[in-house]
Structure 1
Amino acid sequence: MKIDLKGKILGRYISNKIYYIRKLIGRVVIVNASKIKIVNIETKKRLFNYNGRPGGLSKKIFKEEFYKNPNKIVLRCIKGMLKANKTRRKIISNIQFK
């Protein structure tokens, strides 16, 4: 299955395609991840990561992370829409970016 993200709003488009991604546990190729349409709300959005240690909370701005590695943002979006179980690991391992 091939997903083209050129000019699409990330969350809305992925939420429509997540059903097909879940049912197809085969290869999913995502094209043009760097050409996603960014909404004004997302420019100020922050991404949080906690490593479990005291003082281990790291904050990153969405826009900066998107310009560094857009594939990572798309993968994080897909990962957040799937249930946390063994099939999520299979699905995430079968996603490729071009």
Structure 2
Amino acid sequence: MKTYSPRAKDIKREWWVIDAADRVLGRMAARAAHILMGKHKPMYAPHMDTGDYVVIVNAAKVRVTGRKAEQKIYYRHSGYPGGLKSPTFKELFSQNPVRVVELAVKGMLPHNSLGRAMFKKLKVYPGNEHRHQAQTSCCRPGAELFTPCHSDLGRREGEEGRGPEDKRNESEMLQKAR
């Protein structure tokens, strides 16, 4: 049996909308990066861009846990002597919440030309309005599909699976039958 390698013409790209309101920044960014890389697809190949487009709305309502708002620091340097800029999360978030979400997702993508191509498929907006209504009219809701263990990732809608809840129901039925 040969290893399957997807062709460029076989890749079908979908549009996903993730509502970032009251979501933890890192977890939401990890789900977005997962979709951008195409790891949710059976045809995933690490050497190809098989991912989908992701639109993140309500970026200004994202939250962080603990004391990250005061303690997390974003570093950048202009290249000139004394050109180090190091704003905290709170400072950068108040100026540009979109940039905070973009940096979180970008850090979870591959750090090469493939990752840069994947990053171009990410669209982030501070509010609920976005310019991709035509593409996302038949979109899939992004954040609701994924669970922490990705247990329902391979199932189709309406398909019964053998997840933990099914095993629990099965054991309850067996106990009732006795």
Rounded Cα–Cα distance in structure 2 between residues aligned with 1:17 and 1:5: 10
Name the residue aligned to 1:10: 25
The structure having more radius of gyration, on CA atoms, is: 2
Larger deviation, residues 26-35 vs 44-53: 44-53
Size of the aligned set, in residue pairs, is: 98
Name the residue aligned to 1:97: 124
> TM-score of the superposition, structure 2-length normalised?
0.50
- Aligned-partner residue type, residue 14 of structure 1: A
Name the residue aligned to 1:26: 52
Aligned-residue sequence identity (percent) comes to: 32
Higher relative contact order (CA 8 A, sep 6+): 1
- Which of 94, 103, 106 is the aligned partner of 1:76? 103
In proportion to residue count, which structure has more helix?
Answer: 1
Name the residue aligned to 1:58: 85
> TM-score of the superposition, structure 1-length normalised?
0.85
Deviations 1:33-79 (A, max 9, x none): 11112334212122111233321211112102102111100000111
Structure 1, unmatched stretches of 5+, are none
- Which of 113, 118, 127 is the aligned partner of 1:86? 113
In proportion to residue count, which structure has more strand?
Answer: 1
Structure 2, unmatched stretches of 5+, are 1-15, 39-49, 126-178
Give, in angstroms, the shift of residue 12 of structure 1: 2.0
